[in-house]
Chain A
């Protein structure tokens, strides 16, 4: 009954609000969970290649900026991924969030011109994919798709080896880069 009285009061209050007919400004939500930018940095000796995908307006209509790269044939690169939320100022480092929840996240790499293996592990000994080794094949033009899954089933068949088919979960990131291997 007390609850009802409370709501009744709220309704009366609301009616006053209506009559005032104010142009209240809504609060613009701070999109703290958004990932705007993925940078995949590949290092081989003194040679650094940066693949990046940046989409500042999230689901909005503006097209993302995609930076592709040129890799050397039959070369091993050390890869690292950085994620940013650039809607905030200064930009928030989402990579840290992934590291904190590493058991719930895994990157998957799919390419027809290179192979990628994992160099990092979560507490259960399963791969994460923030640190990787990328090995290119012979010279060719192709693509590299980087996928981040939230709550994948890491113990499902083939998932720890980087096979996405049985992973499930939700896709937080799925970006495709054009890659030239020369």
Chain B
């Protein structure tokens, strides 16, 4: 140790490397320790593998490892551990090196998230995250469906191609989705509209529960879903991956490619996805016209101007065509009643097809974003973002007179977002944030549909100011936040009565939200967090001005121009216990009390038209409570078996009328057990099979019993239980990593219907599905 040339590098987010000079050709050593990111405890049984030499080891009880007799050169070292998101580092080995690496037990780290390359605790925000591995292993799923097995997250669907996430019972206008830091704009109001985001373009999907929207534009009461690509890997040569998968149910193909290269002057990454699925199948019959097709592309650029000035650019385009079950397209109430009485829906064909006929949707979403980050000083950061989005949606129905090829609804929404945020760290443990977000939206019905639009044209302008103050001490963390939003709406509606004429509304709304939270480390690995927030949400355009037949739900929907702003008081309590790396449990209790909760209430009368009688739904307000518990636990047994248990209980009640709220997710349980082979199996001299895992999983969804007869067209479907499996392994060669998996869902081919899937009125949900995939990384 004569040469004390010790360098301290931050190569990866949590990685520190100490390089000690002692240069000799082929007897270098890499020594290190692996820690659990959450508990800082050493992790044993971590598989450490040098990709290029196919040599590896497993960490000892104290998390340490030693790799010897390595030649100088560039290497990739892969770290993987049971129940962890693995990590891969790039190392230019010149001398003996010591590495400390932290691996995150992804589902357990409920309150830690990576933001802008530094570890930042979102203490006030009970959250959970989905990692890249989960995204890659679910090429058959859209953004919402990937989140389905997480505690406290449910899906509201219209068939399996169209789904949106529900977080703690809130969705649509009450839930913000941030794609790349930008509030996803589009037709968020519709239950039959999916968020138009390609999960393959992301590396992490984070669900923040609670009134956590203080810092994010959109001003919503529910949670926030953050869809984030990671920063471009600091790798100077071209890197990339190709994913391909095939799904037996729907005979679906999915291809994704990602390429990237880093250089200090300009780092870039591109991502492209193509998916094609045909008719899905229930245990007994095909769901005709339920195929999808998707073509997506994204480009990400990062440039470092100087030590203090960074520039990011992101552009993406998402284009999808979705079929809607032909048998679910109905006329009036009589049709609905006859459809409800059928075992097999009308228009069911014996043959599979990739064809997409009406009813179908064509949707494109384009995003362009530029971000500048300026480090004013070591303690002050300024972020500026400008973004634009285009959402182009056409919905086609089965129509008369050759009009099927003309959209029945055609909407073009343009929006512009801007954000400016100032962050100041002072007195060691304080952080102050100040910022403004502005969103301007122009929503237009493209004429020539031949149908009066359900949603009117509108322009809206929303601008908000926020501030948050955080203090982090050893054992206690506090957070206060305040947000103030102004919204202007200019809405030219078309009158429902004759003669048709324009009635213009101009609205001004003010919204306020506030948050108080604290997290206490009680010692012995017990943590408790309390979160209390108040927020208001002004009525959305659809709630005020919807008018007409919502074909998808076979009902006449009417907005109410007199609706008031909705208010919510939300309290939550989270308890976590992480005694060691082998076990963790967390419980989150939440209670949301709404004043003037806006909901679609079925009316007593039916409206008689020439097409028969239709149920009428009107937007009304009431006081309501939505509350529940999310439980999550994970454990390892003997370092070879890894288990996950998640449970959600939720209840929603209209307190004014003493009635249950409709479309509240039923209680659910998800569990999985994974057997993992910790050792790499050498296949030949320089090829290893690593990270071999066999997983069995189970999803149980109980019947929604908290509902009164007559609140819905059909009673809630009974409890169902779905069994699944996954077998996966990585083939590691000096230059490449190939991940192969095969998974099965609903492997017992259970016939079931899901309460929150609108297609349940017409058909069963999908049966057995086997998906095989290959992921090639280079």
Contact = CB atoms under 8 A, between A and B. Distances in A.
Given A21-B459, A28-B500, A150 B398 contact: yes
Contacts of A120: none
B116 interface: no
A60 B497 contact: yes
Given A30-B450, A31-B450, A171 B388 contact: no
B368 interface: yes
Contacts of A179: none
Nearest to A98: B400
B282 to A, nearest CB: 18
A8 to B, nearest CB: 6
A100 B403 CA distance: 13
Contact of B414 (A10, A97, A171, A173): A10
Interface stretch (A11-19, A42-50, A129-137): A11-19
B612 interface: yes
Contacts of A55: 608-610
Contacts of A104: 400
A174 B612 contact: yes
Interface string B700-731: 00000000000000000000000000000000
B131 interface: no
Residue among B334, B453, B457, B612 with most chain A CB within 10 A: B612
A159 B464 CA distance: 60
A35 B335 contact: no
Interface string A50-71: 0001011111111110000000
A101 interface: yes
Interface in A1-38: 3-4, 7-8, 10-12, 14-15, 17-18, 21, 23-33, 35-38
Interface string A152-180: 01000000000001001111111100000
Contact of A26 (B416, B492, B496): B492
Contacts of B548: 59
Contacts of B452: 28-29, 31, 58
B502 A57 contact: no
Given A14-B442, A64-B609, A170 B398 contact: yes
Contacts of B442: 14, 17-18
Nearest to A6: B366
A169 B346 contact: yes
Contacts of A170: 329-331, 335, 398
A3 B609 contact: no
B549 interface: yes
B461 interface: yes
B610 A173 contact: yes
Interface string B613-642: 110000000000000000000000000000
Contacts of B609: 55, 58-59, 64
A31 B461 CA distance: 31
A151 interface: yes
B498 A56 contact: yes
B440 A18 contact: yes
Most chain B Cβ neighbours within 10 Å, of A24, A31, A37, A58: A58
Contact of A101 (B400, B445, B612): B400
A14 B388 contact: yes
B88 interface: no
Question: Chain B CB within 10 Å — which of A29, A104, A172 has the most?
Answer: A29
A53 B611 CA distance: 11
B561 to A, nearest CB: 14
A141 to B, nearest CB: 20
A97 B338 CA distance: 26
Nearest to B390: A7
B332 interface: yes
A29 B450 contact: yes
Given A3-B317, A23-B492, A36 B368 contact: no
Contacts of B459: 18, 21
Nearest to A56: B498
B610 A8 contact: no
Nearest to B614: A59
A23 B506 CA distance: 10
A26 B443 CA distance: 11
B300 to A, nearest CB: 13
Given A31-B451, A35-B610, A173-B611, A57 B494 contact: no
B456 interface: yes
Given A18-B442, A29-B447, A97-B400, A60 B498 contact: yes
A101 B400 CA distance: 8
Contact of B502 (A28, A58, A60): A28
22 contacts: A4-B317, A8-B388, A17-B414, A21-B490, A23-B490, A28-B494, A28-B501, A29-B451, A33-B403, A38-B610, A56-B498, A57-B498, A58-B609, A61-B497, A61-B607, A64-B608, A149-B331, A170-B329, A171-B335, A172-B611, A173-B612, A174-B613
Interface of B: 315, 317, 327, 329-332, 334-335, 338, 346-347, 366, 368, 388-390, 398-401, 403, 414, 416, 440, 442, 444-445, 447-453, 456-457, 459, 461, 490, 492, 494, 496-498, 500-502, 504, 548-549, 556, 607-614
Which are the 4 A-B pairs with shortest beta-carbon distances? A171-B331, A174-B612, A168-B346, A11-B388
